[in-house]
Structure 1
């Protein structure tokens, strides 16, 4: 089995406490049409890595997927085109800083409503292949899609991703050092609010709310679709609706107390100020590389928009 190759490969998550689920793909090739990041938000605010062209990288990835689907359809494999290719914003959002990244709430009302969980966005239909002929044509079509963007498009995008990962990596080092310094005071405040920790030392390391020993909420449950290796061929799973998160009553109260503690200490505002300053410093250290690559990325993005639109 050969896994599909795509243009964009930024993999370093910048958010502390982020987690991801992984599935065993050793038995199948899953197309990029099945990305589980959901659609793009109506607007994005709070950018601080101004020189990073994340939005354009996302556009280029979308273009490669879109062109790949068309190529497959022309070759007699319409599944990817029929499922549809959605533009994602994963790279762009990696370089957006706001209070939510540091577990900050905008109001006590929002804190009670959201708790500490996350809404799982809607997912498009999932396409999985156990067909070697499809896999081969998928790889060929992906190469063809990259060539349509430009002879050196793949090389350029990979070079850009390398710089972006360098920037993200340096910022992650800052986060690991800076964020924990505020947690002891937060823990003290929450204890005064009536939320003592069962394991303070563990909380100071990971600030996981499970260490308060309260019942947490959950996302709406759904029936999970699973492809069948025995069936073979190219299989398409159903799209998945958005799954909201409902905090437990105790969690809602803890979140409200968390907001009050942050409002009193200014933790989030101070952290955002330091984070934006650090982001600017890191970006400046990589400015020469970005100055060389940004015009190339912009040209590729214009070509991508001409070929597939901007979604």
Structure 2
């Protein structure tokens, strides 16, 4: 049986530009939010990086900090953010925690690193989604989730003894990774940097959408969609400004990932976004209007330059944190034999 778990309250809407949504995954772990910020359930603008850049570092001017070298295989400016390394650090922390729990006699999810938990794609989602009629019909303005985002990420404790053991095991895992205080500081700062990149890119994308607001509004009006006040599309409001009811995220049956009697219950296995029919219809119209007005082309044309400008603005943070993340990732890999 599917049950709705999350929709998008209009009061929660904070712009058409949003980072990748990850219900069922983001926030499920006590430290994961430091690495991967939770995203909006619905967004027209979901940020991705599609630019190609040099594999060398960029020099600053007037005494500005130089950017560190791009990682091997980088294809876009935001690849400077070491997403896979940061994911590995968090994944190893949980492997070490689970091994400790198992040694203490409690059930644990895994004994080795799950490669599916390591991000291999771009840092953020592509702007102005959906862009295809197929995706619009299937997801509306929601996010198609990666398989790992629908998998159970933890067990829910209702046994005080297991909860205490979890906290103790987590602290030991952090200590092995570099000391609890130092570990949390570096991981937290790197997560904050990602949040900053996301927010600044969202602001850029909102500006582009606002530039095309009149053209988009005219196109939508021709197709029968109009704001109650007759005004133009507002980049600060969601689809409901056009009277569109939105869908929700749903969970499937709960998975069993704990032995009976140890005080832990499995979280649901499936999380997916289900749009309303009118949302899907409206999303299809948005796709066609986006193509017709040229707003998609404008975003794509400017995307490389926007990414590059943003990372250059944060050269000091990258120069300080990337080496630290590399050290932590190397240590994490060694602790689990990778």
Q: How does 1:174-193 map to 2 (within 5 A)?
A: 174-193=204-223
TM-score, normalised with respect to structure 2 = 0.65
Distance in 2, matches of 1:111 and 1:281, equals: 31
Find the residue that maps to 1:128 and give its secondary structure.
Answer: strand
Moved more, 254-263 or 109-118: 109-118
Measure how far apart 1:283 and its partner are. Answer: 0.7
2:322 is matched with: 294
C-alpha deviation, 1:149, in angstroms: 2.2
Query: Which residues of 2 match residues 79-118 of structure 1 at below 5 A?
Result: 79-81=108-110, 88=117, 95-98=123-126, 101-105=127-131, 107-118=132-143
Select which of 136, 143, 149 maps to 2:177. 149
- Give the conservation status (yes or no) of the 8 Å contact 1:58–1:87: no
Give the whole-Å Cα distance in 2 for the aligned partners of 1:237 and 1:202: 46
Deviation at 1:203, TM superposition (A): 4.4
Query: Matches of 2:40 and 2:249 in 1, distance apart?
Result: 21
User: Which residue, 86, 91, 94 being the options, matches 1:65?
Assistant: 94
Structure 1 residue 236 corresponds to structure 2 residue 262: no
Q: Please name the residue that 1:167 is paired with.
A: 197
CA displacement 1:273-296 (0-9 Å, x = unmatched): 334322211211222331232122
Separation in structure 1 between the aligned mates of residue 220 and residue 150 of structure 2, nearest angstrom: 34
Match of 2:159 in 1: 131
The gaps in structure 1 that reach 5 residues or longer are 19-44, 226-231
Q: Is the 8 A contact 1:6 1:61 kept in 2?
A: yes
Specify the alignment match of 1:213 in structure 2.
Answer: 243
Contact 1:4 1:138 in 2 (8 A): no
Does 2:282 correspond to 1:257?
no
Q: Is the 8 A contact 2:249 2:271 kept in 1?
A: no
Contact persistence 1:219–1:243 (CA under 8 A):
yes
> 1:54 aligns to what?
83
Q: Normalised by the size of structure 1, how large is the TM-score?
A: 0.69
Gaps of 5+ in 2: 1-27, 44-73, 256-260
| TM-aligned CA distance change 1:16 to 1:81, over 3 Å | closer
Q: Find the counterpart in structure 1 of residue 3 from structure 2.
A: none
Q: Shift in Å at residue 64 of structure 1? A: 0.5
Please state whether the residue corresponding to 2:156 is helix, strand or coil.
Answer: strand
How much has 1:97 moved relative to structure 2?
4.4
Q: Would you say 1:6 and 2:31 are equivalent positions?
A: yes
Change (3 A) 1:288 1:216: closer
Cα gap change, 1:242 to 1:159, in 2 (>3 Å): closer
Please list the CA deviations of residues 104-157 of structure 1 after superposition, one character each: whole Å capped at 9, or x if unmatched: 41x334433433334465231651223333222222211211222234433322
Deviation of the 1:211 alpha carbon? 3.5
Which structure 2 residues correspond to residues 21-60 of structure 1 after superposition, within 5 A?
Answer: 47-60=76-89
Provide the secondary structure at the position in 2 that maps to 1:302: helix
**CA separation in 2, counterparts of 1:309 and 1:161?**
25
Q: Using the TM superposition, give the Cα deviation of residue 95 of structure 1 relative to its aligned residue in structure 2, in angstroms.
A: 2.8
Partners of 2:243 and 2:267 lie apart in 1 by 37
In the superposition, relative to structure 1, how do residues 153 and 211 fare at CA in structure 2: closer, same or farther (>3 Å)? closer
Please give the alpha-carbon distance, in whole angstroms, between the structure 2 residues aligned to 1:123 and 1:158: 24
**CA pair 125-111 structure 1, distance change in 2 beyond 3 A:** closer
* Superposed CA offset, 1:166-225 (max 9, x none): 433433443444433322321111111333333554842445223433565666674689
